[in-house]
């Protein structure tokens, strides 16, 4: 979508496209917004689309009129804005190794910095019931963070993952994580035993966030590594898990 439509508009950067699903069998394209920089992830909070855009920071987009979305503001994050999650009116932004930044969007066009917390090289975030789960990519872990007091967020524990961590999903006391690229161990060259063997997903019991317990770990059974393919995602609709 991005390449063909941008050629027509001659506007640089990523784009937001809105589709009507009134008839799920025939989605209808009803709105678009260009010039969003290096757009990465998106979540929706009421009438605001919250988009992380790496070196271009965080964008808040007014979607009250889905036919004419408009940028409310662009927030300059601590570092590359990659992961994003929300518990209104607070937005959690994964700024890679520079930590998770928390901002207040009570007034959407005037976001306010609240606090930050370090949790490794964060590329994915998931908020659930007062806790923030942060997938630390290169560190092969997921940090569980208490954000009930957004002024003083606190890391409660770390979950060791079988590969580079990115996609996180939490429901009913279970943490689902998808991993990729390299597993633990030496992975500098294709001849190394950990090179490319980190592709899989796993489930952890996090009913007690201070003491997470591994339930199962599934390796996809193939060796794959490509430097530019560093994003993966996971969604659960029991009894199925969907992995991108």
Residue 61 preceded by cis peptide, ω within 30: no
List C-alpha distances in Å: 165 to 21, 111, 122, 219: 32, 29, 9, 13
DSSP single-letter state for residue 40:
-
226 burial level (CB within 10 Å; 0-12, 13-18, 19+) = exposed
Q: How confident is the model at residue 1 (pLDDT cuts 50, 70, 90)?
A: very low
Specify the pLDDT at position 2: 46
The predicted-structure confidence for 158-192, as pLDDT tens digits, reads as follows 999 999 988 999 999 999 999 999 999 999 999 99
Collapsing DSSP to helix, strand or coil, 149 comes out as coil
- Give strand pairing partners of 21: none
Model confidence, pTM: 0.91
DSSP single-letter state for residue 3:
H
């Amino acid at each position: 979508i991005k390449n063909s439509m941008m050629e027509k508009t001659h506007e640089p950067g990523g784009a937001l496209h809105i589709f009507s699903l009134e008839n799920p069998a025939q989605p209808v394209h009803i709105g678009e917004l260009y010039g969003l920089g290096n757009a990465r992830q998106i979540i929706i909070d009421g009438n605001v689309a919250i988009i992380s855009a790496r070196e271009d920071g965080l964008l808040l987009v007014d979607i009250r009129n889905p036919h004419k979305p408009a940028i409310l503001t662009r927030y300059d994050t601590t570092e590359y804005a990659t992961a994003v999650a929300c518990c209104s009116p607070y937005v959690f932004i994964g700024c890679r190794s520079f930590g998770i930044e928390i901002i207040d969007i009570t007034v959407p066009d005037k976001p306010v910095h609240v606090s930050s917390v370090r949790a490794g090289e964060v590329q994915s975030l998931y908020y659930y019931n007062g806790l923030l789960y942060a997938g630390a990519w290169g560190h092969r872990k997921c940090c569980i963070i208490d954000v009930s007091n957004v002024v003083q967020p606190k890391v409660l524990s770390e979950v060791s993952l079988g590969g580079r961590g990115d996609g996180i999903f939490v429901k009913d006391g279970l943490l689902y994580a998808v991993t990729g690229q390299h597993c633990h161990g030496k992975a500098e060259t294709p001849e190394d035993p950990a090179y490319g063997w980190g592709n899989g997903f796993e489930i952890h019991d996090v009913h007690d966030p201070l003491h997470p317990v591994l339930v199962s770990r599934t390796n996809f059974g193939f060796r794959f590594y490509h430097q530019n393919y560093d994003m993966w995602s996971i969604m659960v609709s029991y009894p199925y898990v969907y992995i991108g």
